[in-house]
Amino acid sequence: MKSPWGELQELKGASTAQEEENGVRQAFSNDVLERYSRQMLLLRFGVEGQKRLSQKSVLVIGAGGLGCPAAMYLASAGVGRLGLLDRGDSVDRSNLHRQIGHTDASVGADKCLSLRDSLMRINPGSSICTLSTGITAKFALQLILPFDIVLDCTDNVESRYIISDACAALRKPLVSGSAIGFEGQLSVYCDSEESPCYRCIFPSPPPPDCVGSCDTAGVLGPVPGVIGTMQAVEALKLAAEIEGAEVCSRRMVLYDGLSCETRVIRLRSRSKTCRACGNPEDSSQRIVNPAEFDYGSFTLAGSCATPQSTDQGRLRATALLDKGRLKDALCIDVRPKEQFDMCSIGGFQNIPITKLSKELITIQNRVGDKEIILICRRGVDSATAVSMMRKAGIENATDVIGGLDAWRQECNPEFPTY
């Protein structure tokens, strides 16, 4: 099958200079020596480390808060080839506080192309290939195969399993990082026979409703910067084969930005029965090719989430234009207080969904026959809130399809984006 990357030129490594007529001998060209001299001065790195680095290829999956600093340091260090893979998202102004490879001028642009342009400004000699497509089980092996080292800089559970399973199948070292809120974590998988894969450590995924994201929970900008930078360090240790360096394998670094504490916990070795990198008793359970595994069903297994409501009986955002209806109803915004404080629709009071169950009796006594209108950011939490109320016997509750995002699109384009 043809590679999704097309034809990639063979890695040539850093160009070495020949002995000059004046008798001067040097390991690399003047440009290479000037650009990378500070890392070649390191006793455990040296000229040989730079040569090895220039002959290696690294794939960064995700061009966001983790991928930006990781890719910037890898390109600056002189990696032979750098691949950038992102799901086709465009640069969003609300992400600029942490996605430092993009600028305000690139808002709306493709993230892969925007990051590539930033890297080329840092190091014009970089060899960079990009694909604006997400990592999928169908093409995971083909996307990862051309690279020596992989960095998982994504933000969702399904991608983590796909990337890890593919790296396990191809025996590719995987540098995995994540960050949310004030915290981050880092580990290296699949770098040796004893090294576990992600599935060894997490054989079962967490319930979907228990997984947060920067989009909903928020993140302090430098936190993914710290983790992404650490991912670059691990990748450089692997690529340059730095003498005496110990990669973060069979260990996990836990970083707490609030307390400025870093803990390192020991991880188990590779599981002999792991479905991805081991030999399960039932050989049919072995994941040889991610394309043959149903990741959607796997990551949804064990969900304790409330089933989403159908649109029947729910309100379109335009219904909120009826001021008389809002005046006569009990209007509740179930977003977290931090989001409500940033912006809200007049007439709505804030009862976060995390506190709603404790307020149900008060609401029931207070509302009588009044209509209850609930809203959230995108219409998911409000649907859950309606279900909670109906289970408590409150039948006159409804919510807004699409939440505040729909209100912005259909009724008030000036409503803030966040």
Would residue 214 show up in a list of annotated catalytic residues for this protein? yes
Q: What is the pLDDT, as a whole number, of residue 148?
A: 98
Q: Which residues contact residue 282 at a Cβ distance below 8 angstroms, ignoring those fewer than 6 apart? A: none
Reported as a pLDDT band with limits 50, 70 and 90, residue 304 is very low
Check pLDDT > 70 for residue 212: no
Q: What is the pLDDT, as a whole number, of residue 9?
A: 81
On whether residue 46 sits in a domain, the answer given is: no
- The annotation status of 197 as a binding-site residue, yes or no, is yes
- The annotation status of 95 as a binding-site residue, yes or no, is yes
- The annotation status of 111 as a binding-site residue, yes or no, is yes
Structure token digits, residue 343: 């912006």
On whether residue 37 sits in a domain, the answer given is: no
Whether residues 173 and 211 fall in one domain: yes
Whether residues 329 and 189 fall in one domain: no
Whether residues 247 and 323 fall in one domain: no
On whether residue 418 sits in a domain, the answer given is: no
Check pLDDT > 50 for residue 305: no
Mean pLDDT of 407-413: 93
On whether residue 13 sits in a domain, the answer given is: no
Whether residues 277 and 340 fall in one domain: no
Percent of the chain with pLDDT over 70: 92
Check pLDDT > 70 for residue 17: no
Would residue 260 show up in a list of annotated catalytic residues for this protein? no
Check pLDDT > 50 for residue 307: no
CA-CA-CA-CA torsion sign (202, 203, 208, 210): negative
Answer with the one of 240, 275, 300 that is the final residue of a domain: 300
Whether residues 163 and 195 fall in one domain: yes
Reported as a pLDDT band with limits 50, 70 and 90, residue 314 is very high
Answer with the one of 271, 300, 329 that is the final residue of a domain: 300
- The annotation status of 277 as a binding-site residue, yes or no, is yes
On whether residue 38 sits in a domain, the answer given is: no
Whether residues 283 and 134 fall in one domain: yes
Check pLDDT > 60 for residue 209: no
Whether residues 212 and 115 fall in one domain: yes
- The annotation status of 97 as a binding-site residue, yes or no, is yes
Lowest-confidence range among 293-302, 382-391, 398-407?
Answer: 293-302
Q: Which residues contact residue 176 at a Cβ distance below 8 angstroms, ignoring those fewer than 6 apart? A: 151, 152, 160, 163, 164, 186, 187, 188, 189, 198, 231
- Which candidate in 112, 190, 214, 248 is catalytic? 214
Mean pLDDT of 149-169: 96
Whether residues 248 and 219 fall in one domain: yes
- The annotation status of 94 as a binding-site residue, yes or no, is yes
Core vs surface per residue 225-240: b (16+ CB within 10 A) or e: bbbbbbbbbbbbbbbb
- The annotation status of 98 as a binding-site residue, yes or no, is yes
CATH number at 173 reads 3.40.50.720
**Spatial separation of the C-alpha atoms in residues 66 and 295, rounded to whole Å:** 23
Question: How far is residue 241 from each of residues 83, 123, 252, measured CA to CA in Å?
Answer: 20, 22, 20
Whether residues 328 and 289 fall in one domain: no
Number of domains in the chain: 2
What's the pLDDT tens digit per position in 168-188?
999 999 999 999 999 999 999
Tokens 């650490």 locate to 230
- The annotation status of 350 as a binding-site residue, yes or no, is no
- The annotation status of 155 as a binding-site residue, yes or no, is yes
Mean predicted lDDT score pLDDT of the chain: 91
What's the pLDDT tens digit per position in 213-226?
556 668 999 999 99
Check pLDDT > 50 for residue 306: no
On whether residue 248 sits in a domain, the answer given is: yes
On whether residue 25 sits in a domain, the answer given is: no
Note the pTM of the prediction, 2 decimals.
0.81
CATH number at 398 reads 3.40.250.10
Check pLDDT > 70 for residue 100: yes
Residue closest to 398 by CA, chosen among 307, 327, 317, 343 = 317
Whether residues 152 and 223 fall in one domain: yes
Whether residues 342 and 258 fall in one domain: no
3-state secondary structure 121-166: HHCCCCCEEEEECCCCCCCHHHHHCCCCEEEECCCCHHHHHHHHHH
- The annotation status of 248 as a binding-site residue, yes or no, is no
Mean pLDDT of 321-333: 94
Reported as a pLDDT band with limits 50, 70 and 90, residue 350 is very high
Residue spans of alpha helices (H) in 185-221:
198-201, 214-217
Answer with the one of 265, 300, 335 that is the final residue of a domain: 300
On whether residue 28 sits in a domain, the answer given is: no
Check pLDDT > 70 for residue 301: no
- Which candidate in 68, 112, 190, 376 is catalytic? 376
Domain containing 293: what range? Answer: 56-300
Residue spans of alpha helices (H) in 241-352:
295-300, 323-328, 337-342
Whether residues 222 and 359 fall in one domain: no
